[in-house]
């Protein structure tokens, strides 16, 4: 079975600074990888996803993520954060032939002026 770990529970960055959120997965073959964002009290919105091909994936709101098979990682990055990026971010992994996604426990992002 697949699993995913988000080692950082809470990250604080200054507005305009760069951001990297970590995600590590466990799965024997190439997984399907997703990043979702959740604003307070809201549902989740897809930022980006990776299935195959180019390991650097571009998403919405200026986010990108890089799949690194050797490190079993799919870290989310943004070169310059905005106050509106404050939210909770979830990494998720899916496996072929399985309708389910497994979500990480999330990373809460706080932006300071």
Partner 1 sequence: SQTIHQWPATLVQPVGSPLSLECTVEGTSNPNLYWYRQAAGRGLQLLFYSVGIGQISSEVPQNLSASRPQDRQFILSSKKLLLSDSGFYLCAWSAGKRARETQYFGPGTRLLVL
Residues of this chain that interact with partner 1 (CB under 8 A) are 9, 32, 34, 36, 41-46, 49, 51, 90, 94-106
Of 14 and 45, which CB lies nearer to partner 1 in the complex structure?
45
Of 55 and 80, which CB lies nearer to partner 1 in the complex structure?
55
Of 71 and 105, which CB lies nearer to partner 1 in the complex structure?
105
- Residue 107 near residue 85, CB atoms below 8 Å: no
Least distance from partner 1 to the Cβ atom of residue 16, Å: 29
What is the chain's length? 113
SS3 60: helix
DSSP state of 89: E
- Residue 49 near residue 33, CB atoms below 8 Å: yes
Of 97 and 113, which CB lies nearer to partner 1 in the complex structure?
97
Least distance from partner 1 to the Cβ atom of residue 99, Å: 6
Least distance from partner 1 to the Cβ atom of residue 109, Å: 15
Least distance from partner 1 to the Cβ atom of residue 105, Å: 4
Sign, Cα dihedral of 70, 74, 78, 82 = negative
Give which of 30, 32, 64 is closest to 47, Cα–Cα.
64
């Amino acid at each position: 079975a697949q699993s995913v770990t988000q080692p950082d529970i809470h990250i604080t960055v200054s507005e305009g600074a760069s951001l990297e959120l970590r995600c590590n997965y466990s799965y024997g073959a190439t997984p399907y990888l997703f990043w979702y964002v959740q604003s307070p009290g809201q549902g989740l919105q897809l930022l980006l996803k990776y299935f195959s091909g180019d390991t650097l994936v571009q998403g919405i709101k200026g986010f990108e993520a890089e799949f690194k098979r050797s490190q079993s990682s799919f870290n989310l990055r943004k070169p310059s954060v905005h106050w509106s990026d404050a939210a909770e971010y979830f990494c998720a992994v899916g496996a072929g032939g399985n309708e389910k996604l497994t979500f990480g426990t999330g990373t809460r992002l706080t932006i300071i002026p």
